[in-house]
Amino acid sequence: MLPAPLVSLEKTIGFSFRDKDLLMEALTHRSAVRRSGLKKHNERFEFLGDAVLELVATEYLFRVSEKPEGELTNYRSALVKGEHLASVAKEIKLGDFLHLSRGEEASGGRDKPSTLANALEALIGAIYLDHGFDAAQKFCQNFILVRLRELLAAGKHRDEKSVFQEKAQELLSLTPHYDVVSEAGPDHDKKFICAAMIGEEKIAEGTGSSKQRAELDAAKNALKVKKWATPF
């Protein structure tokens, strides 16, 4: 039986879990189990939810837009970007339901954008496991994809890599590229460090759970280093 607060979360998202343990695990941060030695935290769910969301977003954009691949890729990046997912998580008050260690909670863990974005992906993974793809797709459509028009109007589809490339080409007549500096961790918990390069010069490094995210972070940092204006 779920604690009463989690029942209210089920009402908010419109899904009642058959396997309540899936929901509990999806809301358990690594910090909450670190001392106990258990492995029941939400990072594996996050890994699954990230893949489900990307597929759902890709299919949705393919069906609703005739834009070329490059533009659709930018639209998808705006939809699955951590900043957007954290905003959605705040909207459904997901942070209130997370199971955190005392230290993580004291440091503001319930409001950390990265923690919220990861928890939302974990929730998608749990919905997929409990209800199947159609249910996960419905959740993504109702809470994430529905904000596409808003994201486009705000220019969020122009990610940091796009802006960095435009600036480098405009000001230096060069196209940036990215090198993987390091890659560590198991498949479900990878950490990549990538470098944003202009020619042979390393401008900045970035980290992320995938090469794409590490490159985005590197581009964001490179924009700061070069002091090039950015809309974000």
Active site residues: 50, 121
Q: Which of 164, 171, 193 is nearest to 180 (CA)?
A: 193
In the chain, what is the straight-line distance between the N-terminal and C-terminal CA atoms, in Å? Answer: 43
Please check whether residue 151 is in contact with residue 76, taking contact to mean a CB–CB distance below 8 angstroms. Answer: no
Please check whether residue 157 is in contact with residue 79, taking contact to mean a CB–CB distance below 8 angstroms. Answer: no
Could you tell me the CA-to-CA distances from 173 to 163, 166, 205 in Å, in that order?
14, 9, 21
- Conformational region of residue 53, where left means phi above 0, alpha means psi within -120 to 50, and beta covers everything else: alpha
Half-sphere exposure (CA, 13 Å, Cβ side) for 198? 20
Please check whether residue 96 is in contact with residue 119, taking contact to mean a CB–CB distance below 8 angstroms. Answer: no
